[in-house]
Chain A
Amino acid sequence: MAFLRRTLLIALALAVALVLLIVALDFFGAQPQPFQYILH
């Protein structure tokens, strides 16, 4: 049970960190144009 709780806590922390990273990148001006094409 403790193992599961710890795993979930780490997962939550990582997920929050990732999303915060993205938001921070946008905040510091790395946001790209809203659309684009991928050409193979």
Chain B
Amino acid sequence: MAGRGGPGAAGARIASAAVALLIALAAAEGAVRLLGLAPEVKLIDVQKDDSVYKRSTNPILGFELKESWSDPAAELVTSYPSTNSYGQRDRERSLEKPPGTRRILVLGASVVEGFGIRDLEDTVCGQLEAMEGPNVEVLNFGVSAYCTRAKVELLKVKGLAFEPDEVVLFFTQNDFHNFNHEAFALGSPIDRPRFVEDLYVHSHLFRTLATRLNWFWFGAQVDPTGWNRKAIGDDNVVDGFRLLRELAEEHGFRPVVALWPRFTDDAVLDPNVMPDGETPVAERLARAAGLPSFRFSPGFRLHRDALGESVNPRLQYTLGDRLHPNPEGCWVAATILMQELDVLRAEDAPLPSPSSDETAAAVARRLGEDEPHPWRITVNLGNTLLQQGRHDEAIEQFRAALAQKPDLAEAHVNWGIALKSQGDLPGAMTQYVKALEIAPDLPDAHYNLGVALAEQGRRERAVQALRRALELRPGFPAAQAALAALTATPERAASP
């Protein structure tokens, strides 16, 4: 028999500790289940390999574009035809700047990224590069939904390596949000072992701890904007501008903040102005940070004046959504940007000294109080399921999204599409009509209603709906095709 301090006693102690640990884990598992502490998990096996975005390991970025992406059939919302090997929606670039080349790096969100635009040559960066000539490279560093701080973070972690001579920051509405809207359900940035995923699903204790402590990135996955918002802080525009100015001084590039306007049916406006005047909040903050800035709005107004007063800025310059430029909008923006950069170069003035503007900072803080919208993920998840032909599951998501946000017209439209795919045409039409009650100007709802009416043989009303869709979104290819098919075929009697 071994003595008290012998190997036998040590073995017994280890065994005791191991048994104690097992019992403790089992007891804690029971307690967590009893108290209901673990977050609910809903297993939906959706392949997200078709998204151009991936979750980032950098909490300020939250998500990034995937590198060397190729998708010829990209639908230009969750996917683009290509990205380069550095993960930018841009043509391939060398890290090292070619001798005699001037590099303009453009930071931005979806406006710069080219949301809804298929050809790189049609984006603002593509058109500016063509205008500037052979010795100038214009690097597209746009990533949808990035706020100011995230845009500057992307410059810091990726962009500086390209040695830019000029950095333009496109400032849009989402810059004020102190988080990056994550609109798509994204997987984990790391591949987890299968047993870890199983453990997460089956053990409440592990799920509770892994979620709260972000083990294996479960925390980030469960609350994607929470960790992003925490890393970004409450003053993202002020912090982002300050960092941009510091980086400009440190790395010797010329920075400029470019204020993107809003295009309504009769005007080109600067959104988010100070309460007591017409100065955009971002312009005040840029000045305070010691950064030059300019507005796109006067250039667009001049262009519109040349075309004539009857021109509708929303339809002339955007995809119809008042924000994202169409190829013509990109061309005008590139022209304005080239002129503004020429002026800045000609002036060659040193950066003004930074100061403080507490009033503007307070307004920006208020504008940044918007909450993340989980329904965006839910509705996009529904769309993915719909694309995969999983109609019941898709409908469940649209229902959930509408429970979170009842005026979500697009969820009604897609719910209708799911019902129609199941053969429930009247049910589908009810959903389209509900969508139009919420958003009478939604072209997709008019289009789908038109197609459904055509299928019912109600030709006249179908033509009306399709024409309305085309009025609201000129060049809407599906609506054009449906209308052409409908007007080319002889009228047939309505189905009994």
A residues adjacent to B (C-beta < 8 A)? 3, 6-8, 10-15, 18-19, 21-23, 25-26, 30-40
Contact = CB atoms under 8 A, between A and B. Distances in A.
Interface in B12-40: 12, 16-17, 19-25, 27-28, 31-32, 35, 37, 39-40
Contact of A36 (B12, B31, B39, B212): B39
24 contacts: A6-B16, A7-B19, A11-B21, A11-B22, A14-B21, A14-B25, A15-B31, A22-B37, A22-B209, A22-B212, A25-B212, A32-B39, A32-B211, A32-B223, A33-B39, A36-B40, A36-B223, A37-B42, A37-B46, A37-B185, A38-B43, A38-B197, A39-B46, A40-B187
B280 interface: no
Interface in B47-75: 47-48
A33 B182 CA distance: 14
A14 B211 contact: no
B264 interface: no
**10 nearest A-B pairs in the assembled complex, by CB-CB distance:** A14-B24, A11-B23, A15-B27, A10-B20, A32-B223, A11-B20, A18-B28, A15-B24, A36-B222, A11-B24
Interface string B211-225: 111000001011100
B123 interface: no
Interface string B344-368: 0000000000000000000000000
Most chain A Cβ neighbours within 10 Å, of B28, B37, B219: B28
A15 B223 CA distance: 26
A26 B212 contact: yes
The size bracket of the interface on B is: 35 or more
B226 interface: yes
Contacts of A35: 39-40, 42
A20 B27 CA distance: 13
B465 to A, nearest CB: 35
A10 B32 contact: no
Interface of B: 12, 16-17, 19-25, 27-28, 31-32, 35, 37, 39-48, 185-187, 197, 200-201, 205, 208-209, 211-213, 219, 221-223, 226, 374, 381
A3 B16 CA distance: 7
A8 B223 contact: no
A32 B222 CA distance: 7
A35 B48 CA distance: 19
B17 A10 contact: yes
B386 to A, nearest CB: 16
A39 B40 contact: no
A22 to B, nearest CB: 5
Contacts of B25: 14-15, 18
B47 to A, nearest CB: 8
Given A7-B23, A19-B31, A22-B208, 12 more contacts: A7-B16, A7-B19, A8-B23, A11-B19, A19-B28, A19-B35, A22-B37, A32-B211, A32-B226, A36-B40, A38-B200, A38-B221
Given A18-B205, A19-B32, A40-B45, A30 B212 contact: yes
